[in-house]
Amino acid sequence: MDLIDSHAHLHDRAFDKDRPMVVAQCALAKVGTITVGSDIRSSRAAVALASKHRAVWATVGVHPHNATTLSDRALQEFEALAGSEHVVAIGEIGLDYYRDLSPRDVQREAFRKQLALAARTDLPVVIHNRESTEDVLRILRRHASTHRGVIHSFLGGIELAETFLDLGFHLGIGGPVTFPKNRALRDAVRRIPLDRLLVETDCPYLTPVPYRGRRNEPAYVKYVAEEIAVLQGRDVTQIAGVTTRNAVSLFGLG
């Protein structure tokens, strides 16, 4: 396995017509994939998909957009799903103050409850943060000693990167690093320690150059790795090897 796409949504409707082919292409490209839940339905689907494929793993959780759906019953089901051998993290959890599809107080409570779930199940977390950095940090700092995980789709500059690194988190780098106008992100990636980076696609979203504007796929994670290699002045095989080891270690991948 040459690369691990640490954040994909293979159960998204965008893949309904050709999901088996996309998974097969991942195998041909030697790309392992972590498919990420965002609510009960997608978390069930992620676990089911991972159970069928050796190089696919799942996460379970409620995205901040869906925070209002995190009932006590749902939380119990997530805890049961987390017991599966195919589940490697709790996520995608966090805060999103850009779209505000759930009330902010509800988002924060769902975030706290799922951090507690991660602690109970001894799983890392996959964090979503969009225009909510202050509250994300405030909540994480209360639990910094008990959590490990990744800041998914990191888009900030070096100062924010160092803040999350100091808390012990990895940083997930995706397609936007290939966009020339993302200067702060690209500069940060030049300076972030390689042993704290993960590569991801967030497919079907955030497609990297040269396929920007089309549906994203896990196999395109290689373009992210190639851009990081350029920015850090390293060989892409080194980027692939280290980011794969990072993912294996963080998520306990078999």
Tokens read off for 220? 């395109």
Say yes or no to pLDDT of 144 above 70: no
> Is pLDDT at 185 greater than 90 in this prediction?
yes
Helical residues (DSSP H) of 57-123, grouped into ranges:
72-81, 104-121
Domains of the chain: 3-251 (3.20.20.140)
pTM here is: 0.97
- The C-alpha torsion from 161 through 165 and 167 to 169, rounded to 10°, is 100
The pLDDT assigned to 1 comes to: 55
Average pLDDT over residues 139-157: 90
Q: What share of the chain is helix, strand, coil (3-state, %, to 5)?
A: 50, 15, 35
Helix (H) or strand (E) holding 35: strand 31-36
Q: Answer yes or no: is pLDDT of 143 > 80.
A: no
User: With pLDDT > 70 as the criterion, what percentage of the chain qualifies?
Assistant: 99
Which pLDDT band, with edges at 50, 70 and 90, does 193 fall under? very high
2-29 pLDDT, tens per residue? Answer: 999 999 999 999 999 999 999 999 999 9
Q: Is 106 exposed, middle or buried (0-12, 13-18, 19+ CB in 10 A)?
A: middle
Q: Would you say residue 222 has pLDDT above 90?
A: yes
Q: How confident is the model at residue 98, as a pLDDT? A: 97
